């Protein structure tokens, strides 16, 4: 079904997404505070709205794709914003990466106009946006998700329904936690290896194709059944990180995250869990959160 879609935010992500929506045959009204991408999209057949409100007035479905929570709040709830123009009963999808708390605020505000609201942050970067291969993590009512699925399929490949309002943002935050952890730990590995005299290409080759990239698939299903039989014992990983830190000390390399994780594995030993599989490090976090993760 061809829709009249309003898209607010034509940045690195929004602009290629807009192009994909046009390519799929949808009518598009766009708005951005920057002029150049508006003109570019106009040439491709999009209409230009004068404000978020104006975009919403001319659309059956509104999407925002903006940098941060305050930007989305302003575009949606502010003066000349989406909520001033949007038709009662229509759909509003925020695809920005923002706080789940803000997503809930939007959903709450949408009740007065009986809006169908989803939070649908993406991952995959500019390349994913251009190639329409984004992962899209969606929170909100399941029926609205089902309705919007064909639209998401124009923009991405891996479309995941995550749960109620804000769940998309929560899963996106989880994703960013792991991406950051991988980059930081790989950074520590590369600096230690290189300063200790090993060719960084070799370190890269070993770590990027090694157990780190397989351990989640191997261990998380067991973890979710609370099965912490090793595998690889936490106390041995503690020993290995002690070796890494000694080597760091020897070669003059600070390993802040490795140091912190070693202490957490040390806490495992203190808690009598040194013989748990190293995936059991999650139990230290669970202790802190007074909460247990179970499938």
Q: Within 13 Å of residue 108, how many CA atoms lie on the same side as its CB?
A: 8
Does the annotation count 172 as an active-site position?
yes
Q: How far apart are CA 178 and CA 219, in angstroms?
A: 15
Strands 116-119 and 47-48: unpaired
Rounded to a whole number of angstroms, the minimum distance from the CB of residue 123 to a copy of itself is: 5
Q: How far apart are CA 164 and CA 137, in angstroms?
A: 11
Which CB sits closer to a copy of itself, 149 or 178?
Answer: 178
Rounded to a whole number of angstroms, the minimum distance from the CB of residue 196 to a copy of itself is: 5
H-run or E-run covering 266:
helix 256-270
Q: How far apart are CA 288 and CA 281, in angstroms?
A: 12
Which CB sits closer to a copy of itself, 39 or 214?
Answer: 214
Active-site residue identified among 19, 116, 172, 233: 172
Which CB sits closer to a copy of itself, 70 or 89?
Answer: 70
Which CB sits closer to a copy of itself, 24 or 173?
Answer: 173
Rounded to a whole number of angstroms, the minimum distance from the CB of residue 153 to a copy of itself is: 17
Which CB sits closer to a copy of itself, 37 or 121?
Answer: 121
Rounded to a whole number of angstroms, the minimum distance from the CB of residue 230 to a copy of itself is: 8
H-run or E-run covering 158:
strand 156-163
Rounded to a whole number of angstroms, the minimum distance from the CB of residue 137 to a copy of itself is: 6
Q: How far apart are CA 200 and CA 194, in angstroms?
A: 5
Can you tell me which residue has the tokens 């602009």? 15
Task: Write the CB contacts of 38 (distance below 8 Å, at least 6 apart in sequence).
Answer: 10, 30, 31, 32, 48
Encoding tokens for residue 258?
């490795």
Distances (CA, A) of 2 to 59, 211, 216, 270: 12, 46, 40, 61
Active site residue ranges: 172
């Amino acid at each position: 079904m061809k829709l009249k879609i309003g898209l607010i935010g034509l940045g690195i992500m929004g602009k290629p997404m807009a192009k994909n929506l046009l390519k799929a045959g949808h009518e598009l009204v766009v708005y951005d505070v920057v002029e150049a991408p508006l003109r570019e999209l106009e040439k491709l057949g999009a209409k230009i709205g004068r404000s978020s409100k104006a975009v919403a007035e001319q659309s059956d479905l509104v999407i925002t794709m903006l940098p941060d929570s305050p930007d989305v709040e302003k575009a949606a709830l502010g003066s000349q914003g989406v909520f001033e123009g949007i038709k009662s009963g229509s759909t509003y999808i925020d695809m920005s990466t923002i706080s789940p708390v803000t997503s809930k605020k939007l959903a709450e505000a949408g009740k007065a106009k009986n809006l169908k609201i989803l939070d649908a942050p993406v991952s995959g970067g500019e390349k994913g946006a251009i190639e329409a291969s984004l992962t899209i993590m969606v929170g909100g009512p399941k029926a609205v998700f089902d309705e919007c699925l064909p639209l998401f399929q124009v923009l991405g490949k891996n479309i995941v329904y995550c749960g109620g309002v804000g769940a998309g943002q929560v899963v996106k935050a989880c994703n960013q936690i792991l991406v950051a952890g991988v980059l930081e730990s790989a950074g520590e590995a590369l600096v230690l290896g290189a300063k200790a005299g090993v060719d960084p290409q070799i370190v890269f080759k070993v770590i990027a194709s090694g157990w780190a990239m397989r351990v989640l698939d191997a261990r998380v299903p067991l973890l979710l059944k609370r099965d912490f039989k090793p595998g690889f014992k936490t106390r041995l990983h503690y020993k290995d990180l002690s070796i890494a830190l000694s080597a760091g000390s020897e070669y003059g390399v600070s390993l802040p995250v490795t140091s912190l994780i070693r202490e957490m594995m040390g806490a495992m030993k203190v808690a009598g869990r040194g013989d748990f599989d190293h995936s059991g490090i999650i139990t230290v976090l669970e202790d802190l959160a007074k909460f247990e993760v179970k499938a």
